[in-house]
Amino acid sequence: MDEIKQGIQYVFQTRNPLSLAISGSGHCALEAALFNLLEPGDSFLVGVSGIWGQRAQDIAERIGARVYPMVKAPGGHFTLPEVEEALARHKPVLLFLAHGESSTGVLQPLDGYGELCHR
């Protein structure tokens, strides 16, 4: 496991001692991440255009977050202006966009989103 941890730290360019591998499915990792990032009552903005966005929405609702879904038909993706407007309106503590929506084969471009979130 030490080698795996070192590999994860290298990939994400971090020395964080809490970097860890999760032995489970993608859903397991998503659930672990959201349960560690969201608190009941937190505002959560989620792009829903396939199964991964829907799962993130479902998990956040179980946590008790105030969930604001941006919904696209399967096969769609979100634009910077759409996300910027939703960020300004809802002021979330967390934004979720699936980079690779495996249920539809859509690749969500992510350039510029980090900058938007830090405004």
Cβ neighbours of residue 39 closer than 8 Å, sequence gap 6 or more: 63, 64, 65
Tens-place pLDDT, residues 58-103 = 999 999 999 999 999 998 999 999 999 999 999 999 999 999 999 9
Mean per-residue pLDDT over the chain, rounded:
93
* CATH class, range 38-117: alpha beta
Task: Please answer whether residues 47 and 70 qualify as being in contact, where contact means their C-beta atoms are separated by less than 8 angstroms.
Answer: yes
Residues 97-110 as b or e (16 or more Cβ within 10 Å = b): bbeebeebebebee
pTM: 0.84
d(CA 33, CA 30): 5
User: pLDDT-based confidence at 109, cuts 50/70/90?
Assistant: very high
